[in-house]
Every structure is written in structure tokens, then in C-alpha cells.
Amino acid sequence: MRATLMYGPGDVRVENVPDARIVAPTDAVVRVTLACVCGSDLHPYHSMDPSGEGAPMGHEFLGVVEETGSEVRGLKRGDFVVSPFAYSDNTCPICRDGFHTACPRGGWYGAGGVGGAQAEAVRVPQADGTLVKLPDDVDPALLPSLLTLSDVYLTGYHAAHMGRVGPGRTVTVIGDGAVGLSAVLAARRMGAGTPDAEGRGRIILMGRHKVRTDLGLEWGATDVVAERGAEGVAKVMELTGGEGSHVVLEAVGLMPAYEQAYGIVRPGGVISRVGVPQYEEAPVGFGSLFGKNAGLTGGPAPVRAYIEQAIPDVLEGRIDPGKVFDAEVGLDQVADAYRLMDTRANLKVLVRP
């Protein structure tokens, strides 16, 4: 079968690899209907150590179950499914708490002998716990939005959920990438974005790419701040009457975004991160978080916890997160998709095997 491998920075190839097949009795093999490239795929695209074997890429997909292992109970050949970007058993105490990305039996696509989803097919470990069935007769126009439940929309949702967004809480989203815009949409869905008499409850989007921030405004942002660094902080403080933002959703993962976040968070507020941190150490002491009782939360989104409730939101038209996709390629053109996203020519690119 054809699958995407990354060999080093900027070096993405589609090659013939052995067919995906059942390895453990809890596995399923899924033929991929629709996949895409993730902002997080650009991190290795910039800086991975060159690999002789190539790293399998892709972790977001819709597809059709082709084969199931002997212990799989809830799925059968022909089921149309969406997969979270991480697999998990959905039964252990950690999953029951809603933190599936830390499931002791879970793991990541493209690692540990599991293939990637930018491919014709993929092996899904812990298939019963991982895959969620979709109706067979979905309007094809809704497929991109359903694909965002694999990762991007529900990663934005996770940021807002962990930050306890709600009516009357001022929310600032740092980053106008697909996750940042999804966080705006999720914050609006949770009731932010209708400022009260004192101006609290705004959704402020920090970003400078007009096409993207326009989508943010369409999705519920009340203000756009294009400035960065100290100027950006000053602008948000001005918009919040000097109080700062109750919730800061940090969807970038770089240190300047973190610094911006603790600069604008209100005393007692919270910074919720879903951009994978490209740093390990960061300021957390009296001068950054502690002094103002600011909290820090977030991590890899356990999207499995949120998929079932999000499906009707998509099917019934309450949200349209698929608008983050602004281009589509075939599998053999996946290297183009990386290039288009890396140069910011496109926001997020569909891959149709």
C-alpha cells in the first residue's frame, strides 16, 4: 500500500510499504477515506533527526473498517469511523477520568510499530476503545468537519474545556492557526463571546493573518489583536480594562506565546495550552504565574472524551469546523500539502487517498 514517510526536515515521500494488517487481537485495519496534515506535523518537518527508515506520518482520519481482530466486539467490516489522533482502551481509570491520551494501553499513530494515517490504510490498536462509528449516510459536505473531530477542532475544544470557558469569562486565544481558530469556535460554543455590561466575556484572537482572523471573527471572536510581545500584551490589557483575560488559550507552543500568555492572564485566571511546547522549562515563579495565582493547564487533547458529543453538533449544523481546510491533495501529492502549510499559503490541507 502507499503511505507517507518523513526522512528528515522538508523530506516527505509517499512510498510503497507492507499492507496494514492485524497484529494484536484488539486491532482493526481501517481503509482511510479522508486524512490531513496537522500543524504538529510541521515540527518534525522543521527539525527531525534524519532517519534512514523514515517516520510514518499522519494521525487524523475518517475511514472504513476493513478487518477486525478476534477480540474486537463493537466494530465490523464496513463500519464508517472517525479516529482520535491517539488510541486508547477507553475503559481504564485514566480514560474514565477523560484523559485518554495518557491511557496506559494507549499510544500514538506513527510510533511503536503503528503506521500513520496519511496512507491508504492504517492499523488501529485498541480498536473498540479508539474508533467511533459515524452514520453511513453522512452528507459528503460534512466530512471535513467530521475529520476535525480526530484532532484539530477537539484540540481547540480541549483547551477551552480545561480553561473552564463559559459565559462572562474573557477568553484570549493566542495563535490563528487551525487549532487557535478551533479554540475560538469552541469558546463560542461554550458561551463566551457575548460581552457583559463591563466588557467581560470577550473572545480576543491574537493573530495577524487576515484570512485566518476573518474566519475567527466569523466563528465568534469579538476582537482581533495583531500586535505581538509587549505591544500585544498592552493591547489585551487595554481591551480588558487593565484586568487581563480570565482564560488564555495558547495554541502555538513556542516560548514567545507562553510569555504573552502569562503577561495577559488575569489574577486567578488560567493559561490552557494545547500547542505542543517546543520548550521544557518556562517561568512559573512569583514574577510570572505564582504572584497572581495564575494557573497552567492543558496537554495532548483526549479527543476521544469529546467525540460523541461533538458529532451531533456537526451533523445538525451547530458548528462548521471543517472550514479550517482550504486545500485538498491526493495521497501522492502529500509533500505539496506540507509545503503549502509550511509556507502558510494554506491553513490546513485535506489528503484524500
Among 23, 211, 230, 284, binds a second copy (CB under 8 A): 284
* Residue 53 binds a second copy, judged by CB under 8 A: no
Distance CA 85, CA 117 (A): 9
* Residue 34 binds a second copy, judged by CB under 8 A: no
Asked if residues 184 and 156 have their Cβ atoms less than 8 Å apart, the reply is yes
* Residue 99 binds a second copy, judged by CB under 8 A: yes
Residues 6 or more apart whose CB falls under 8 angstroms from that of 203 comprise 171, 172, 173, 184, 187, 188, 192, 193, 220, 221, 222, 223
For the window 145-164, what string marks contact with a second copy as x by the rule CB under 8 A?
-----------------x--
Asked if residues 296 and 271 have their Cβ atoms less than 8 Å apart, the reply is yes
Distance CA 44, CA 334 (A): 15
Region near a second copy per CB under 8 A, out of 19-27, 97-105, 122-130, 332-340: 97-105
Distance CA 309, CA 161 (A): 13
Closer residue to a second copy in complex, CB, 50/267: 267
Region near a second copy per CB under 8 A, out of 64-72, 175-183, 286-294, 345-353: 286-294
**Nearest distance from C-beta of residue 100 to a second copy, angstroms:** 9
Distance CA 250, CA 276 (A): 10
Among 237, 299, 335, 339, binds a second copy (CB under 8 A): 299
Among 9, 291, 312, 317, binds a second copy (CB under 8 A): 291
Question: From the centroid of its chain, how far is CA 67?
Answer: 27
Among 71, 198, 238, 308, binds a second copy (CB under 8 A): 198
- DSSP for 60-85 reads -EEEEEEEE-TT--S--TT-EEEE-S
Closer residue to a second copy in complex, CB, 253/322: 253
* Collapsed DSSP state (helix, strand, coil) of residue 106: coil
For the window 209-248, what string marks contact with a second copy as x by the rule CB under 8 A?
---------------------------------xx-----
Among 123, 188, 189, 266, binds a second copy (CB under 8 A): 266
Distance CA 317, CA 145 (A): 10
Region near a second copy per CB under 8 A, out of 4-12, 65-73, 219-227, 294-302: 294-302
* Residue 114 binds a second copy, judged by CB under 8 A: no
Number of residues that bind a second copy (CB under 8 A): 42
Closer residue to a second copy in complex, CB, 33/297: 297
Distance CA 150, CA 84 (A): 4
